Amino acid sequence: MLRLIKRNYFLLTSIFLIFYFIFNLVSGERGLFSYFKKKELLSDLKKEETLLIKKIEDIDHKNSLLSTNLDLDYVEILIRERFLFGKKDETIYLIKKDEK
């Protein structure tokens, strides 16, 4: 038995190393399966990042609309669109009260 191992020492060592490297290539922390999982996770994170950036831009835009000088025409348009108040092609008259 020992003679057989001694004769084929290089072959056995080579086979062991080949199996070791193939196993670590496919599995393991830096393996092929782990690579695909991390790649999928990265694409999901990029999608989530773009959604969050869009939300931040929307909130920034809404925040920029808040001020002490309100655009009453824009507010009226928003009320009509959101609450379906009014009809198309109607004439709107604004009556301002005199402040004393």
How far is C-alpha 21 from the chain's CA centre? 35
What is the pTM (predicted TM-score) of this model? 0.45
Spatial separation of the C-alpha atoms in residues 48 and 54, rounded to whole Å: 10
Band (99; pLDDT cuts 50, 70, 90) = low
Residue 96 has pLDDT above 90, yes or no: no
pLDDT recorded at residue 17: 93
pLDDT digits (tens, 9 = 90+) for 64-91: 877 767 778 888 778 877 776 676 777 7
Q: Is the dihedral of CA 27, 28, 34, 35 positive or negative?
A: negative
